[in-house]
Amino acid sequence: MKKSFRDFVQALDDGGELLRVNKPVDMRRASALMSQSDKAVMFENIADYPDWRVAGALITSRARLAIALDCGAGEIAARFEERAARPIDPVIVDDGPCQEVVLQGDDVDLSALPFPIMHLFDGGPYLSGTFVVSKDPEYGRNSGSYRMMYRTPRETGIDLVSPSDMRFYYQRALDQGKPLEIAVAVGVHPYEMLAASYKAPIRTDELSIAGGLHGAPVPLVKCKTVDLEVPADAEFVLEGELLPIGWTADEGPFGEFSQISGDVKWNPVFRVKCITRRRDPIFYQLQMPWENDWLAAPVTEAAGLQALRIASVEPVDIRAPVGSCGYWSLIASIKKRPGEGKNALLALLSVAEVKLAIVTDDDIDIHDPDDLDWAMTFRVQADQDLIVVSGARAKHIDPSVKSWELGKGGLPTTAKLGIDATIPEGVPKQLYRRIRTYAADDVRLEDFL
């Protein structure tokens, strides 16, 4: 059965991964409090917002990502890859909890939503965990996640600078002098968030990918004021339109997924016509950058697995570290045949933004930094085991590509590095026999306490 945001929060609670805070919390301090918790957080009592609770920092560890995907921590990439490949179309239902309360006209008031202020240099309070639906007459329904900066009780900013399907839809509407209708669902299951951040081909409905991840169709309700559909079990929904003003309004800075403060950007404005919500809504405060980066990891990891298989290399484990934001590096262990350390590197470095790839044999635990260091120390000869590729596509957001040196509209390039930390060809395996404690399995320390 399709699971909801609430089901996920409950699963975190059942797994001992949720901290419930009962004292009243001011939304100007919510982010600071959340960032001090090593568990996911639910604020049960929000100062000045009696109807609302706030949940956040839900996915800030591999263990909690595994709870989201309902699998073991070592199975995340494979689970994502397998299920995303079997999309299930959504179904339209007559009603859903996200429309228990409908606010239109003078009742539309974004100041009545507990927007948090999250980072020191942010240009305003932000909605960070969105599932934004739009439609194009030719290309169909699209979903993505886009941040929204509070501007007025009826308007937010949106970051629509980077190339994306929704940016393309907006440009097409703008070319005709028309607004683009959008619906912003907040408080959806992580499967919907993963599908939204997945770079699906333009005619693919990400809601079908979400259905595949759930193994069940996503029930949708029709919006009240725009010709769009949203997940029926969302916590709340903002309906409205991106005004046909182009990239003219200031937006940001906002703590970026690259873990950098960011700049003021020039962007369109979202005018809200209608707010629908549950009677007892939970506001999802996605803690940037960590939750964004953890959500990116399975997608990058699945792409890495695919690239390895296409290169006929057998992957054993793969990891997109959150230190490189779930995008910029991949570490994989493989069952290696001669030469495949290098083949694997070439495959991994072809994945989207990946600029650092490390490949090990399958006796290395790639989740253990000490094990990885050991492999990189004793299995790597720098003059033989590094691959450097110059001039590959890059993202502006990486300061080391010096995109400010490019002219307006110029696209940066980057160098990519691969490290083959597999046992070099010609070195006998027994030279790597690891130290093992004598009689390790025969006694248990706790029996002696």
Partner 1 sequence: MSPLAKRIVAELEQSPRQFHDVVEDHMDVPWPDFLKAWGEIRAACILGRDDDGAYMIAPADTAV
Question: Which residues lie near partner 1 (CB under 8 A)?
Answer: 26-28, 47-49, 110-112, 114-115, 117, 120-125, 150-153, 155, 249-250, 252-253, 263-264
Taking CB under 6 A as the binding criterion, the range among 76-84, 162-170, 173-181, 354-362 that sits at the site for ligand FMN is 162-170
With 0-12 CB in 10 A as exposed, 13-18 as middle and 19+ as buried, what is 426? exposed
What residue 295 binds from ligand FMN, partner 1, none (CB within 5 to 8 A, per partner kind)?
A: ligand FMN
Q: How far is the CB of 115 from partner 1 (least distance, A)?
A: 7
Strands 356-361 and 413-421: parallel
Asked if 420 contacts 378 with a C-beta cutoff of 8 angstroms, the reply is no
Contact flag: residue 164 with ligand FMN (CB under 6 A): yes
Q: Of 109 and 280, which CB lies nearer to partner 1 in the complex structure? A: 109
What residue 162 binds from partner 1, ligand FMN, none (CB within 5 to 8 A, per partner kind)?
A: ligand FMN
Q: How far is the CB of 279 from partner 1 (least distance, A)?
A: 19
Contact flag: residue 142 with ligand FMN (CB under 6 A): yes
Taking CB under 6 A as the binding criterion, the range among 64-72, 141-149, 239-247, 304-312 that sits at the site for ligand FMN is 141-149
AA identity, residue 4: S
What residue 418 binds from ligand FMN, partner 1, none (CB within 5 to 8 A, per partner kind)?
A: none
Look at residue 173 and give its three-state secondary structure: helix
Q: How far is the CB of 245 from partner 1 (least distance, A)?
A: 11
Q: How far is the CB of 266 from ligand FMN (least distance, A)?
A: 13
Q: How far is the CB of 148 from ligand FMN (least distance, A)?
A: 8
- By 3-state DSSP, what share of the chain in percent is helix, strand and coil, each rounded to 5? 30, 25, 45
Contact flag: residue 197 with ligand FMN (CB under 6 A): yes
Contact flag: residue 295 with ligand FMN (CB under 6 A): yes
Q: Of 167 and 379, which CB lies nearer to ligand FMN in the complex structure? A: 167
What residue 320 binds from partner 1, ligand FMN, none (CB within 5 to 8 A, per partner kind)?
A: none
Q: How far is the CB of 253 from partner 1 (least distance, A)?
A: 5
With 0-12 CB in 10 A as exposed, 13-18 as middle and 19+ as buried, what is 364? buried
Among 159, 229, 317, 398, binds ligand FMN (CB under 6 A): 159
Q: How far is the CB of 292 from ligand FMN (least distance, A)?
A: 4
What is the H or E stretch that residue 335 is in?
A: strand 329-335
Q: Of 147 and 379, which CB lies nearer to ligand FMN in the complex structure? A: 147
Measure Cα distances from 398 to 100, 103, 262, 268, 353 in Å: 43, 41, 11, 24, 10
200-216 core/surface letters (b: 16 or more CB in 10 A; e: else): beeebbbbbbbbbbbee
Q: Give how many residues touch ligand FMN by CB under 6 A.
A: 17
What residue 394 binds from ligand FMN, partner 1, none (CB within 5 to 8 A, per partner kind)?
A: none
Measure Cα distances from 26 to 33, 110, 426 in Å: 10, 17, 63
Cα 334 off chain centre by: 26
The strands making up 219-222's β-sheet, listed across from edge to edge, are: 91-92, 219-222, 229-231
Q: What is the CA radius of gyration of the chain?
A: 23
What residue 146 binds from partner 1, ligand FMN, none (CB within 5 to 8 A, per partner kind)?
A: ligand FMN
CA–CA separation, 88 vs 175, rounded Å? Answer: 33
Contact flag: residue 256 with ligand FMN (CB under 6 A): no
Q: How far is the CB of 403 from partner 1 (least distance, A)?
A: 17
What residue 344 binds from partner 1, ligand FMN, none (CB within 5 to 8 A, per partner kind)?
A: none
What is the H or E stretch that residue 42 is in?
A: strand 40-43
Token pair of 226 as six digits: 């725009």
CA–CA separation, 41 vs 55, rounded Å? Answer: 6
Q: Which of residues 198-237 bind ligand FMN (CB under 6 A)?
A: 199
CA–CA separation, 137 vs 130, rounded Å? Answer: 23
Token pair of 218 as six digits: 């996503």
What residue 83 binds from partner 1, ligand FMN, none (CB within 5 to 8 A, per partner kind)?
A: none
Contact flag: residue 162 with ligand FMN (CB under 6 A): yes
What residue 292 binds from ligand FMN, partner 1, none (CB within 5 to 8 A, per partner kind)?
A: ligand FMN
Question: Please, which residues bridge with residue 356 across strands?
Answer: 329, 417
Residues that bind ligand FMN (CB under 6 A): 129, 142, 144-147, 159, 162, 164-166, 196-197, 199, 286, 292, 295
